[in-house]
Chain A
Amino acid sequence: MSREHEKGMSLIVKTVTRLTVGLILLYGIYIVSHGHLTPGGGFAGGVIIALSFVHLMLAYGKEMALKRMPRAVASFCEGMGALLFLSIALLGFTGGYFFLNFISKGEPFRLFSAGIIPLCNIAISLKVGAGLFAIFVALTLLKVLSEEE
């Protein structure tokens, strides 16, 4: 068996993960982008996106997942999501007050409608997904480090 099969779980888990992790990520993106039309939204979609990376990390070990999503990128997305959400809120001052829905509402039941709500969903999903993945990585690395000592 080659060297890449040594880390992580067994071959069956790795194959199933390789087939499903893209679907999970895609489902999270769907939940986020249709948050203003169907049940879901930024928080749930962000958690699903984080879960796809957690899935990758459980099956393939931490090097594979951290190669796809390094900790610096996770921290950057976390801060960027928070700043994006706050700046969307501050941009409402161009029309009057905080959190004003300043983009045109559009037609209901369309993907591009409801003004700032999809943008806020995307910002929250970036923040939640990157933050929860960073927490998971930190706790898992802590466990590995404490076992080494």
Chain B
Amino acid sequence: MTGALLVGTALIGLAAALAGAAAPVRFRIGLSTALTIGACGFGLIVGADVLRSGHPAEVHTSALMPLSGFSLALDRFGALFVVITAVVGICAMIFRVGYTGHGLSSRTASCILPLFVTTLLLIPAASNVTTFLFLWELMAVTSLFLVLTDHAHRSEVQVAGQWYAVMTQFGAAALILGLVLLATRSGSQSFAVIAVKSSHLPVWVRSTAFALALVGFGSKAGAVPLHVWLPRAHPEAPGPVSALMSAAMVNLGVYGIVRVGMGLLGGGPTWWWLLVMAVGALSAMFGSLHSATSKDLKRLLAYSTTDNVGLMLLGVGASGLFASTGHRTLALVALVAALLHVVFHAVFKGSLFLSASSVQQATGSTDLDGLGGLLNRMPVSGTVFLVGGLAIAALPPFCGFVSEWLLLQSMLHGLPSSDVTIAVAMPIGVGVLALTGGLTAFTFAKAIGIGLLGLPRTERAEQATEVRPSMWTGAGVLATLCLVFGVAPFLVLPAVVDAAGNVTRLHLTEPLNHGWQIGLPGVRGMLAPGLLALGLVICGALVCLARRLVERSPVRLAEAWGCGRELQTARMEYTATSFGEPLTRVFEDVLNPSHDIDVSHIAESRYYTEAAVIHTSLDDAFERRVYRPADRGLQRWGAIARRIPNGSVHRYLAFGLVALIIVLVVLA
């Protein structure tokens, strides 16, 4: 029954793609969007059913792919990701109806977007290596096309597309090597067989496969140092696509690391997980630092995705570390925290990206230095962004708070430990978590305060109006979920516990949530998010009431204090650049800020300035130190290699002869 639903998901997705390609212009968007929502709906049903019952949904057909067959089996762990993708997909598709920017309504894009969503839905169900790699590549290629939708109009899109193509194919290559190594060594393509046989494989095979998978999935997840495509591709992709990439596709990187490391390989030595934790810590710090100093809204959100993926990997690494040292309960709790963060990140990052796209549509820009005053002009989209920002900053009563709390708890209870690795790794993990927490609060105080509050800084921002209802509905649903999950995490927690238990084959002696509260087994004290929310609402209402009672006259609108200046203009306002300046100076060594000032003088006298322009930029240290030199090296090598083929047939014949001799010598 559920298997049929899985097939249905795929078929409706294909139908949506066909409709996007072939339907007349008038119905194209409506039809393909409706069908894509249908595919997501089927995915949601099958995912929810598997999560509830625990019976995997299986489909196997040998007709579609030779040798291996096309094989899907959705277990609880995969179902969690299918449900996340389905919810984000539905919201992004509702949003898409009103969204007109970036050429997303073209025939190509209407055809490819449903395909992309469908592959996202099916990947967690793939149950053999070929199926998985096929779907994975399909996802990579379709997402590349979607990033490139607007390439004809802006040259940055092409550059972003190149970066994305290289990184995603590099990751795919690593992935193919890793999975094929596992498949050949264990003698079967099937994930179920690999999971059984992998424990008998030699250590080097297991470790190589894991390292390759970490590289492959890490590049898709946007983990440092493979994150460079994120801050380029996200700002250039159309709104719903960047939301889908950040809230659904990136998750699959984490899915893959857990599936391979804990599912197929069944855990591993301590150093694997220390490596994962190190990558996570680096990603979290680097991402949060860059998002704190970015001044482009979507670039900021992209770096914040790297930051959040870092937190998830920190949880995954801690879980593996606990498992490898025998702390079974804590291993499960840490993985639950990481997966809970995956769920919540999808919810708040989806709402943030969608509302940022609304801002982009309304003002034509995502440059924070040109926004401002939007909460008054776009009340719903502004509020959605505000809620998403508070949730990602882990503030109660929104959802980010719950997952970060659980992550902190799992690390706290790893101590005191007899194991030195844990004893050293956990305090550092908490330090990283705390630093990124503080920086995230800073980032979103900036994004909300500069982007939505105060005075508009440009004409376009001044004249912005609320976007169409379908757009704010799509984003609003996700923002509502931020609040709902933040107040009542028990709605998702048991499902996440089941999913984590399913992949690690561990289980808890008692549940994590006791009604509305969350507490760790055998630990005194609990977190009561619902109670805190209720307290905040009641206390807030009482304070408002008290203010109303003592108030003697209505609020007077007044001019703000400008040191005696009469007129308040936006030029007096702090910008995102100036807001981030103290932090940029504190972390100068990492961020390497550069600025140059062009001053032009009046022709008559050099003592008077006509205009002054300042250019500031922040480099990505990895781009500067790793990718640029690598790129230069490749170019140089290419230049040398180009000299060899000069068009002479004689030379080519000589090459052939030399090659033949070498082969013969080697074989002999």
A and B interact physically: no
Which residues of A approach B to under 8 Å, CB–CB? none
Which residues of B approach A to under 8 Å, CB–CB? none
